[in-house]
C-alpha cells in the first residue's frame, strides 16, 4: 500500500507539472506520447487503489459521471457587466469621471477582452472546490465537473491559499474549426462561433463531452483572497500566475489614458492574428484601493470599462425578406443574405426592424448591401450600395395579412410596427410558450425553442397550461426524446410549479410587464387573485407602474380566457402566490439599515449571502461588494478576511451574524 501511494503521488505530481508547463507556460517538457503513457499508468494504479486517488489527479480531467442538472450558486460578490466605450471620446470621458471622483489621476491596467464565458473559481487551502458561470450576475450555475476538464485550470495551487478568481473560458479558433468539421461530418448542427461553442460545452450535463472540446481559460481578476493584501490589479495578475493560473500575457500597465488609447488602437489590426477571438479591450483602474473608493453602479463597476472594436462592415447581396411574428404579434422583417463572414462568424440573416426602416434605406430585393454586427453581436443592414444596381432589383411590400394565420395586420396608432392581433395566431402562441419557459420566467430546463415547436407541431400543447399536462409516454414517441431526457424534462416542469408569483407573471407575457415590474406587482398583491381584481387606479398608485402598464394589466385580466387559464394553472398545482420577502415600508427612524452602505463578507450560517442582501435592501439599505470610506457597516460571517481588516483600519462599524439577525427581528 505504501509503495502504491508513493507511486501515485509521484505520478500525480509529475503529470501536473508537465500539464502546467504545457498548458499554462506553453513550454512542453515531454512528448504527448510519453504523457499519455504515464497517465495510463496512473489511472491503472488508481483503479487498483481507489482510496489513494488524489483530488488533484490529472485523471479527474477525463470527465466524471453525467449530472442530472446544474445546481444554482449565489456569488459572494456580484459578477457585474461592464460599461462600454466605443471611441476615443468615450475613453476620455471615462478617464475624466474616474479622476474627478478620486481627486487624483489614475493609472490603468489594460487587457484583451476574450470572447468566451465568464466563470468564477473557488479554492480552499489551495484545492479547487467550486466553479460557476456568471449567470445573471448574482446567481450562476455550478459547473465544477466541466471546468475540471480544462487542463489550464489547476486542481491544486502552488500555495495552500483560500482564494476566488474569475476568468474567461474560451475555445481556441483551431479547436472550434475541428469541432465544426466533426459535427458537419456527423450531420449535426454547426456552432455559430467559438463563444457559443465554449458556452455550449460548459453547459453539457456530461463532463466527458466538455473534456473532448479542448477548452482553455485566462484568469482576469481576483474576486477575494483570505489573509493577503495586494495593492494593484497588475500585481494581482502576477500573483495568481505564480499560484499556477494562466493569465493573458498581452495585458499592459498604462500610466495614463493616452497610453490606454494607444494600446486599444494597436489591437485594431492585430486582433485577427490571435489564436482566439477577442471583442474588445478591458480597461481597469489599476489601484485596488482606488477601485474600492470608486465602487459600483447598479449594473457595473465605476472603475472599469470595455472598449468595443468598431464593427466590421462587409458587402453582400440581399436575396429576400422573411417575416416573423413575435409573441405580441409584431411583424419583424429579416433580410436573407448571401452567406458572408462578419467578425468571425458566417452571417446569412440580418434584422431590418420594421417597414419604415426598409423604406428609409430604400431596400430592394437583389440589392448589394453593407452589413455589420451591432456590438459585434447582432447583424444589421447598414446601407444600400445604390451605385451597384443593375435594374433587376425588385421592390418589397409588407403584406396585409399575417403570414402565420392569414388574419389582417394592423398598425396601432403611434407605433411603427405592423401587428397581428389574432390571439389564436400559431406563431404568437409558440413565441409565447418559448417566453413562458425562459430563464427569467418559469425557467424550465430542457424546454428550448426546438422542443417547444416540436410539441406544438405534434399538437401536444396549445397554451402554457398544456405544459403541465404532458405525459411520459407521448413524449417518448417524439424524435430525440430518450427516457432520461424525458424524465429530466418532466422533473423540471414539475419543479417550476413551485416558482414564486413574479416568475409566473413575467412568463404570462403581459404587455409592458418586464421581470422587475412583475416582482413589484407580486410583492404588492401577494396573490394572483388580488391582482386580477385590481382596477386601473389601484395599479397606477403602485410605484413604477405607469398609466400605460396599468391599462395593459387591467385589460389582460379582464379577458375571460385569461381567467380560465389562471384557474387551470391553479388546478394543475402551479403556485400563484408570492414567496419572496415582503417589502417593508421603512424610514430612517424605523430601520437602522435605512440609507446605509453595507458590505457582506465571510460565511453566514443562518442564511445565504443572497438572502441577507435581500433582507437589507427590504429595509432600505444598499449592499456593495467592496469596503471604502463610503461604507457605513460591515457584516462579517465566519472566515472574514481582507474586507474585515480594511473595515477595522477605516474604523467602520462591524457586526457579526448574531447582531445582524437581532436587527432583522426588530
Domain boundary among 284, 308, 332: 308
Q: Give how many domains the chain has, as a whole number.
A: 6
Any idea what the CATH number is for the domain that residue 516 is in?
1.10.150.20
The sign of the torsion formed by the CA atoms of 24, 27, 29, 32 equals positive
Residues 89 and 107: their CA atoms lie apart, in Å, by 18
Answer whether 664's CB lies under 8 Å from 616's CB.
no
Domain boundary among 29, 62, 95: 62
pLDDT in tens, 511-543: 889 887 898 899 889 999 999 999 998 998 887
Judged by average pLDDT, the poorest of 21-25, 253-257, 352-356, 396-400 is: 21-25
294 with 326, same domain: the answer is no
40, 113, 252, 270: the active-site residue: 113
Nearest to 144 by CA among 114, 168, 175, 120: 120
User: pLDDT class for 258, splitting at 50, 70, 90?
Assistant: very high
330 with 302, same domain: the answer is no
Answer whether 112's CB lies under 8 Å from 250's CB.
yes
327 with 451, same domain: the answer is no
Q: At what angle do helices 449-457 and 426-436 cross, to 10 degrees?
A: 140
Residue 330 in domain: yes
Average pLDDT over residues 52-59: 78
- The highest-confidence range among 33-42, 70-79, 357-366, by mean pLDDT, is 357-366
107 with 218, same domain: the answer is yes
Judged against a pLDDT cut of 70, whether residue 448 lies above it is answered with yes
pLDDT at 590: 66
Residues 304 and 92: their CA atoms lie apart, in Å, by 13
3-state secondary structure 274-301: CCCCEEEEEEEECEHHHHHHHCECCCCE
Residue 267 in domain: yes
Answer whether 399's CB lies under 8 Å from 407's CB.
no
Average pLDDT, the chain: 86
Cell representation of residue 470: 404532458
Nearest to 422 by CA among 410, 431, 436, 439: 410
β-pairing verdict for 633-636 and 597-601: parallel
Any idea what the CATH number is for the domain that residue 150 is in?
3.30.470.30
Nearest to 281 by CA among 269, 267, 299, 301: 267
472 with 507, same domain: the answer is no
More confident residue, 85 or 29: 85
Cell representation of residue 646: 480594511
User: pLDDT class for 1, splitting at 50, 70, 90?
Assistant: confident
Judged against a pLDDT cut of 70, whether residue 584 lies above it is answered with no
| Rg of the chain in Å (alpha carbons) | 28
Beta pairing partners, 217: 169
Any idea what the CATH number is for the domain that residue 378 is in?
2.40.50.140
Residue 389 in domain: yes
387 with 319, same domain: the answer is yes
Residues 22 and 30: their CA atoms lie apart, in Å, by 9
User: pLDDT class for 376, splitting at 50, 70, 90?
Assistant: low
Residues in Cβ contact with 537 at an 8 Å cutoff, skipping those fewer than 6 apart:
none
- Does the annotation count 364 as an active-site position? no
Residues in Cβ contact with 428 at an 8 Å cutoff, skipping those fewer than 6 apart:
325, 326, 327, 328, 329, 404, 420, 422
- The highest-confidence range among 195-209, 513-527, 588-602, 641-655, by mean pLDDT, is 513-527
Domain boundary among 472, 496, 520: 496
433 with 518, same domain: the answer is no
Residue 582 in domain: no
pLDDT at 282: 96
CA 250 to chain centre: 25
Cell representation of residue 511: 404587455
Residue 224 in domain: yes
User: pLDDT class for 271, splitting at 50, 70, 90?
Assistant: confident
Judged against a pLDDT cut of 60, whether residue 586 lies above it is answered with no
User: pLDDT class for 566, splitting at 50, 70, 90?
Assistant: very high
Residues 383 and 368: their CA atoms lie apart, in Å, by 9
Share of the chain above pLDDT 70, in %: 95
User: pLDDT class for 637, splitting at 50, 70, 90?
Assistant: confident
pLDDT at 362: 93
Residue 88 in domain: yes
Judged against a pLDDT cut of 70, whether residue 444 lies above it is answered with yes
β-pairing verdict for 127-133 and 314-325: unpaired
CA 196 to chain centre: 12
Domain extent for 473:
426-496
Average pLDDT over residues 24-29: 72
Beta pairing partners, 518: none
pLDDT at 587: 58
Q: How far apart are the first and last CA of the chain?
A: 60
pLDDT at 355: 83
User: What's the predicted TM-score (pTM) here?
Assistant: 0.56
Residues 308 and 85: their CA atoms lie apart, in Å, by 6
Residue 303 in domain: yes
Q: Alpha helices of 295-364 — where are they, by DSSP H?
A: 355-360
233 with 161, same domain: the answer is yes
pLDDT at 583: 61
Answer whether 601's CB lies under 8 Å from 609's CB.
no
Answer whether 626's CB lies under 8 Å from 599's CB.
yes
151 with 193, same domain: the answer is yes
Residue 76 in domain: no
Any idea what the CATH number is for the domain that residue 39 is in?
1.10.287.610
28 with 129, same domain: the answer is no
pLDDT at 375: 54
Any idea what the CATH number is for the domain that residue 615 is in?
3.40.50.10190
Average pLDDT over residues 632-652: 83
As a dihedral over the C-alpha atoms of residue 340, residue 341, residue 346, residue 352, rounded to 10 degrees, the angle is -60
pLDDT at 589: 64
Report the residue count for the chain: 666
Sheet with 83-85, edge to edge strand ranges: 83-85, 304-308, 278-285, 108-114, 252-254
pLDDT in tens, 408-424: 888 877 777 888 888 78
567 with 649, same domain: the answer is no
Answer whether 300's CB lies under 8 Å from 83's CB.
yes
Beta pairing partners, 622: 597
181 with 256, same domain: the answer is yes
In Å, the largest CA–CA distance within the chain is 85
Amino acid at each position: 500500500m505504501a509503495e502504491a501511494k508513493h507511486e501515485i503521488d509521484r505520478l500525480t505530481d509529475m503529470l501536473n507539472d508537465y500539464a502546467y508547463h504545457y498548458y499554462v507556460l506553453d513550454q512542453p517538457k515531454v512528448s504527448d506520447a510519453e504523457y499519455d503513457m504515464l497517465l495510463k499508468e496512473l489511472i491503472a494504479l488508481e483503479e487498483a487503489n481507489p482510496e489513494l486517488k488524489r483530488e488533484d489527479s490529472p485523471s479527474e480531467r477525463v470527465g466524471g459521471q453525467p449530472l442530472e442538472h446544474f445546481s444554482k450558486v449565489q456569488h459572494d460578490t456580484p459578477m457585474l457587466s461592464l460599461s462600454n466605450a466605443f471611441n476615443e471620446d468615450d475613453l476620455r470621458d471615462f478617464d475624466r469621471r474616474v479622476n474627478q471622483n478620486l481627486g487624483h489621476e489614475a493609472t490603468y491596467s489594460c487587457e484583451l477582452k476574450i470572447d468566451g464565458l465568464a466563470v468564477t473559481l473557488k479554492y480552499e487551502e489551495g484545492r479547487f472546490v467550486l466553479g460557476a458561470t456568471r449567470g445573471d450576475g448574482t446567481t450562476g450555475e455550478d459547473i465544477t465537473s466541466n471546468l475540471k476538464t480544462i487542463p489550464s485550470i489547476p486542481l491544486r495551487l502552488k500555495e495552500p491559499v483560500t482564494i476566488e478568481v474569475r476568468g474567461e473560458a474560451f475555445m481556441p479558433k483551431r479547436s472550434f474549426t475541428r469541432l465544426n468539421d466533426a459535427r458537419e461530418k456527423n450531420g449535426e448542427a454547426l456552432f455559430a462561433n467559438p463563444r457559443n461553442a465554449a458556452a455550449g460545452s460548459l453547459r453539457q450535463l456530461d463532463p466527458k463531452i466538455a473534456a473532448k472540446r479542448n477548452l482553455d481559460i485566462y484568469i482576469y481578476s481576483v474576486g477575494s483572497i483570505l489573509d493577503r493584501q495586494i495593492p494593484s490589479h497588475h500585481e494581482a495578475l502576477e500573483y495568481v500566475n505564480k499560484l499556477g493560473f494562466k493569465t493573458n500575457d498581452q495585458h499592459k500597465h498604462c500610466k495614463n489614458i493616452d497610453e490606454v488609447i494607444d494600446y486599444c488602437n494597436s489591437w485594431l489590426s492585430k486582433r485577427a492574428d490571435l489564436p482566439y477571438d477577442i471583442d474588445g479591450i478591458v480597461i481597469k483602474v489599476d489601484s485596488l484601493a482606488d477601485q474600492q473608493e470608486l465602487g459600483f453602479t447598479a449594473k457595473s463597476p465605476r472603475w472599469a470599462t470595455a472598449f468595443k472594436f468598431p464593427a466590421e462592415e462587409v458587402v453582400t447581396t440581399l436575396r429576400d425578406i422573411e417575416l416573423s411574428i413575435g409573441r405580441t404579434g409584431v411583424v419583424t422583417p429579416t433580410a436573407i443574405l448571401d452567406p458572408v463572414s462578419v467578425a468571425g462568424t458566417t452571417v446569412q440573416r440580418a434584422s431590418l426592424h420594421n417597414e419604415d426602416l426598409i423604406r428609409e434605406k430604400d431596400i430592394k430585393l437583389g440589392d448589394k448591401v453593407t452589413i455589420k454586427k451591432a456590438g459585434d453581436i447582432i447583424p444589421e443592414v447598414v446601407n444600400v450600395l445604390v451605385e451597384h444596381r443593375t435594374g433587376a432589383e425588385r421592390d418589397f411590400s409588407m403584406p396585409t395579412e399575417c403570414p402565420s394565420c392569414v388574419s389582417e395586420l394592423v398598425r396601432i396608432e403611434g407605433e411603427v410596427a405592423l401587428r397581428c392581433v389574432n390571439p389564436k395566431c400559431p406563431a404568437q402562441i409558440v413565441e409565447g410558450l418559448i417566453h413562458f419557459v425562459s430563464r427569467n420566467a418559469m425557467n424550465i430546463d430542457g424546454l428550448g425553442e426546438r422542443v417547444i415547436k416540436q410539441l406544438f407541431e405534434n399538437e401536444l400543447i396549445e397554451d402554457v397550461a398544456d405544459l403541465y399536462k404532458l405525459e411520459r409516454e407521448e413524449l417518448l414517441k417524439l424524435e430525440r426524446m430518450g427516457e432520461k431526457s424525458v424524465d429530466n424534462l418532466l422533473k423540471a416542469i414539475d419543479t417550476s410549479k413551485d416558482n414564486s408569483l413574479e416568475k409566473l407573471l413575467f412568463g404570462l407575457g403581459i404587455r409592458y410587464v418586464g421581470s422587475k415590474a412583475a416582482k413589484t406587482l407580486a410583492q404588492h398583491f401577494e396573490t394572483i387573485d388580488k391582482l386580477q381584481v385590481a382596477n386601473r387606479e389601484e395599479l397606477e398608485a403602485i410605484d413604477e407602474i405607469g398609466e400605460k402598464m396599468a391599462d395593459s394589466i387591467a385589460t389582460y385580466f379582464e379577458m375571460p380566457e385569461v381567467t380560465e387559464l389562471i384557474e387551470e394553472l391553479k388546478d394543475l398545482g402551479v403556485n400563484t402566490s408570492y414567496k419572496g420577502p415582503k417589502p417593508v415600508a421603512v424610514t430612517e427612524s424605523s430601520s437602522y439599515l435605512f440609507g446605509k452602505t453595507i458590505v457582506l463578507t465571510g460565511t453566514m450560517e443562518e442564511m445565504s449571502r443572497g438572502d441577507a442582501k435581500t433582507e437589507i435592501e427590504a429595509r432600505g439599505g444598499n449592499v456593495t461588494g467592496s469596503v471604502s470610506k463610503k461604507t457605513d457597516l460591515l457584516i462579517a460571517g465566519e472566515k472574514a478576511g481582507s474586507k474585515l481588516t480594511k473595515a477595522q483600519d477605516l474604523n467602520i462599524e462591524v457586526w457579526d451574524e448574531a447582531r445582524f439577525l437581532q436587527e432583522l427581528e426588530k
